[in-house]
Amino acid sequence: MSLRNKVTLIGYTGKEVETVNFESGSIKASVSLATSDHYTNAKGEKVEETQWHNLIAFGKTAEILQKYVPKGKEIAIEGKLTYRSYDDKDGIKRYITEIRIDEILLLGGK
């Protein structure tokens, strides 16, 4: 087991899972995940800070996301950071950071 590139997050999905089925028969799923931290600022006020993460999964993990993870579902994931770039419709190079899920745990009720 390697600790070189490992991410563990617990949060709530921010949208419905989007899937892409490839000609080879494999599947890719993507969804956003919100994680929140709480702290007290200098004025003594409680502040909540939310971060959004782009998650992707392939194969059986993608199928689990598609079948069991609706918008607003609390999940725990373990995966690794990945980076990619693409050219948008105007030809501008865009960069995106994603977390490729290796394991998922469904939390919360129902």
Q: What are the residue boundaries of the structural domains of the chain, listed by start?
A: 14-106
**pLDDT more than 90, % of the chain:** 91
- Options 3.40.50.1580, 2.40.50.140, 3.20.20.70, 2.60.40.3140; CATH of 14-106: 2.40.50.140
How much is the pTM? 0.84
| Per-residue pLDDT tens digits for 24-54 | 989 999 999 999 999 999 999 999 999 999 9
Q: Residue 65: CA atoms inside 13 Å, Cβ hemisphere, count?
A: 30
Strands in the chain per DSSP E: 7-13, 18-21, 27-40, 46-58, 74-87, 93-106
Structure tokens at 108: 């919360």
Distances (CA, A) of 17 to 14, 46, 49, 55, 66: 9, 32, 24, 10, 6
